[in-house]
Amino acid sequence: MDRTIDRRSFLKRSAAAGTAAVGLSVYGLGDLEALAGNAGCRWGALIQSSDPIADVRKMERRMGRKFATTHHRLPWTNDLDNKFTRWSVQTNHKPIVSWFARTKAGPVSWRAIADGRHDGWITSQARSLRSLGGQGYMCFHKEPEDEGNPNDYKAAYTRVRKIFKNTGVSGYKWVVVLTAATFLKGEAGRWLPNQYEGIGVDGYNRHRCFGVDWRSFKKIFAPSRQFARTRGEKLYVIEAGCVERNPGEKARWLREARSTVKSWPEIKVFSYNHENTDCNYLLTSSRSAFDAFKAMGRDTYFKLR
């Protein structure tokens, strides 16, 4: 059975009120964000490896603090309640669950999902997430743009979300995650289902790795920020990454990301992609980049739990 799924393989294969204290068990995730207002941003990273629990722990020790979120890329055949997601919930992280309609054999048809041909499996995974508990973000098949048509995607998204809701899954915000390029082209609206709970975005500064211009965090994410802002919605940066160029430039990119997020209260999650897949985004690619990310985590604005 597939246990994890990385970016390279994807690209290749296509009320209760109590005392004065407010407890996490009393409020849902949306309520907590409302209470927090514009007070900060959740901060985390995708660290996926053969032993992600050990590697997340190691990175957190080096950062001198815990991540607020952990990101879990899971293919269609994975159980959503698995060793890594269970550890994340038990250690008070908020899992970002990216569940893809893909297997090792290829894609799972969105139309088949929408038509109910996978209801049994979806229901079993809804029960799995309900058993897992905790609070986090559910991202069904993020970055769908190059894998089918918007109508089939929206229909599949709607059916999966409805089954999860009917099964009693709570505490997970349903986020539609598109690429930064889709927002730049003005096409994001085509992919939004009728019901969702957040707008998410993945964006990268790939530069020489892809033979493209060097782009700042602000330039990459401004269109998605504006899209969310005009709708009065929050924005979730599910994946962000940067390659190296000249010495110190990746660190400057991260420092600029830090200051930009602080000036854009719409962003409530920032998760960095610590991987060497289609490009080298590793935070350890230089000491200066690592230190810049560590400084971001020490900033009180990114202490939202």
31 contacts: CB under 8 Å, gap ≥ 6: none
139 contacts: CB under 8 Å, gap ≥ 6: 96, 97, 98, 99, 175, 176, 177, 200, 238
Number of domains in the chain: 1
Question: Which residue do the tokens 């054999």 mark?
Answer: 105
State which amino acid sits at residue 134: G
In a domain, 242, yes or no: yes
In a domain, 210, yes or no: yes
In a domain, 21, yes or no: no
- CATH number, domain with residue 264: 3.20.20.80
Pure H helices in 52-194: 52-63, 83-90, 110-114, 119-132, 150-166, 180-184
Q: Take residue 201 and report the two structure tokens written for it.
A: 């975005």
The DSSP string of 157-222 is HHHHHHHHHHTT--SEEEEEEEEHHHHHTT-GGGG--S--SEEEEEEEE-GGGTT-----HHHHHH
Contact 239, 200 (CB under 8 A): no
Q: How far apart are CA 297 and CA 241, in angstroms?
A: 16
In a domain, 22, yes or no: no
Domain that holds residue 83: 7-12+28-299
Q: How far apart are CA 136 and CA 172, in angstroms?
A: 5
- Computed from CA positions of residues 249, 251, 252, 254, in that sequence, does the dihedral angle turn out positive or negative? positive
* pTM of the shown model: 0.88
Q: Helix, strand or coil for residue 69? A: strand
At residue 7, the pLDDT reads 54
Q: How far apart are CA 56 and CA 272, in angstroms?
A: 13
In a domain, 1, yes or no: no
**Sites in the chain below the pLDDT cut of 50:** 1-3, 8, 10-28, 30-32, 34-37
Contact 242, 253 (CB under 8 A): yes
Q: How far apart are CA 185 and CA 213, in angstroms?
A: 17
At residue 221, the pLDDT reads 98
Pick the closest to residue 175 from 221, 140, 226 (CA basis): 140
Q: How far apart are CA 94 and CA 72, in angstroms?
A: 11
DSSP classification of residue 22: P
In a domain, 20, yes or no: no
> For strand 235-242 and strand 267-273, is the pairing parallel, antiparallel, or unpaired?
parallel
At residue 38, the pLDDT reads 54
In a domain, 182, yes or no: yes
What are the Cα distances from residue 165, in Å, to 8, 71, 127, 135, 230? 32, 22, 10, 14, 27
Q: Take residue 198 and report the two structure tokens written for it.
A: 């957040």
In a domain, 18, yes or no: no
